[in-house]
């Protein structure tokens, strides 16, 4: 099959939905549309109705959103990554097994054609015996050209559920999951600590953050959590200082196993998360070991990964 001039990149996460029309040769984005109707909220709407089965319900939403793109691009193939291939998404696909090749060959994908001749190439997640991911595997495939010059290292993709991938000469061999982002959400909004923390990323309070990082690095996460409430009640710390202390505590705990690591660490994330992880990592590894990539790199990685998988499919 001939490679199309354009493709529609669909990034369908738990909380957000985004379509981008991408010129295949250059990866230039020529049109974009996004909503806050992620997989979770759309699945909840599906459960409240009886008229349509799950795939049709999700397909109908996808088709209505495609119609909001410029008309001349609406019939190009859709490359869907993220939670769309989960059991609460458009169509469930099994996880591909590690090791994961950076050409995308051993990912699982499914070609779906709908009654208006719309085509979707749906991409699976990937798993090990101890971890799994959906969406980040496409980013990882797209990051190959950035990591290849360094040969080996550990790729950190922070988020609600952070992923650490071991990279070895074009292959991702291992995966670790950390619930850092979700733990922060639960502790800061739904636990007894909620009234002691003011969620505010506007001004970094470095001393409080580093205090938390050092305790997290020492394995003192659980033993230090209640001190946040005590600091608030005794007025020895502000709620903003507690915010950064909790952030540092959780991030320090996540990266503590890297203290004696001698390999390269690749950090790829958007701000403000990028800056926090950078500061925390600088406490335990040398400047030469820490390889930094910003949010633009991450954005491009998804498109590069989707293009690689499209070319595998077309061939």
Rounded to an integer, what distance in angstroms lies between the CA atom of residue 178 and that of residue 237?
28
Same domain, 301 and 290: no
Query: What span, in angstroms and rounded, lies between the C-alpha atoms of 277 and 262?
Result: 18
- Return the residue matching tokens 């292959």: 171
The number of folded domains in the chain is 2
Q: Are 3 and 312 in contact (CB under 8 A)?
A: no
pLDDT at 1: 59
Torsion of CA 260, 266, 272, 273, to 10 degrees: -60
Q: List, for residues 174-210, the tens digit of each pLDDT value.
A: 999 999 999 999 999 999 999 999 977 778 899 999 9
Residue at 219 is within a domain: yes
Within a domain: 157: no
The alpha carbon of residue 210 and the mean position of all alpha carbons in its chain are separated, in whole angstroms, by 25
Residues 281 and 199 placed together within one structural domain of the fold: yes
User: Structure tokens of 148?
Assistant: 């290849």
- How many Å apart are CA 176 and CA 32, to the nearest integer? 32
pLDDT in tens, 80-138: 999 999 999 999 999 999 999 998 889 998 999 987 678 999 999 999 998 999 989 99
Backbone angles phi, psi at 284, to 5 degrees: -125, -15
pLDDT digits (tens, 9 = 90+) for 150-160: 999 999 999 98
Please give the Cα distance from 148 to 213 (Å, whole number): 30
**Domain co-membership, 189 together with 290:** yes
Measured CA distances, 197 to 228, 237, 264 (Å): 8, 10, 34
Task: Record the tokens describing residue 249, joined without a space.
Answer: 């505590």
Q: Residues 118, 236: one domain? A: no
Domain harbouring 272, CATH code: 3.30.420.310
Q: What is the CA radius of gyration of the chain?
A: 21
- Count CB atoms within 10 A of the CB of residue 26: 8
Q: Which domain holds residue 32?
A: 6-149+296-314
Are 308 and 273 found together in one domain? no
- Terminal-residue alpha carbon distance, the chain: 7
> What's the token pair of residue 80?
């869907």
Total-model pTM: 0.93
């Amino acid at each position: 099959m001939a490679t199309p001039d354009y493709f529609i990149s669909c990034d369908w996460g738990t909380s957000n939905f985004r379509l981008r029309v991408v010129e295949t040769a250059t990866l230039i984005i020529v049109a974009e549309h996004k909503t806050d109707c992620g997989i979770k909220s759309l699945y909840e709407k599906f459960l409240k109705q009886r008229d349509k089965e799950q795939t049709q319900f999700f397909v109908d939403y996808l088709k209505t959103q495609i119609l909001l793109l410029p008309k001349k691009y609406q019939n190009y193939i859709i490359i869907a990554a993220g939670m769309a291939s989960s059991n609460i998404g458009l169509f469930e696909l099994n996880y591909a097994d590690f090791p994961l090749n950076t050409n995308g060959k051993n990912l699982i994908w499914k070609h779906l054609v709908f009654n208006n001749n719309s085509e979707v190439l749906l991409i699976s997640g990937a798993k090990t015996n101890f971890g799994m991911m959906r969406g980040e595997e496409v980013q990882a495939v797209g990051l190959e050209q950035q990591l290849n010059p360094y040969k080996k290292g550990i790729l950190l993709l922070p988020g609600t559920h952070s992923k650490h991938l071991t990279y070895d000469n074009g292959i991702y061999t291992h995966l670790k999951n950390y619930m850092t982002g979700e733990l922060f959400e639960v502790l800061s909004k739904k636990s007894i600590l909620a009234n002691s923390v003011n969620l505010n990323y506007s001004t970094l309070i470095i001393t409080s953050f580093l205090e938390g990082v050092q305790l997290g690095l020492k394995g003192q996460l659980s033993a230090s959590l209640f001190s946040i409430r005590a600091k608030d009640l005794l007025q020895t710390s502000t709620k903003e200082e507690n915010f950064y202390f909790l952030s540092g505590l959780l991030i320090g705990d996540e990266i503590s196993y890297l203290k004696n690591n001698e390999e390269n660490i690749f950090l790829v994330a958007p701000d403000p998360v990028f800056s926090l992880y950078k500061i925390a990592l600088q406490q335990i590894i040398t400047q030469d070991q820490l390889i930094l990539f910003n949010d633009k790199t991450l954005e491009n990685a998804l498109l590069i990964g989707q293009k690689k998988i499209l070319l595998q499919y077309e061939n």
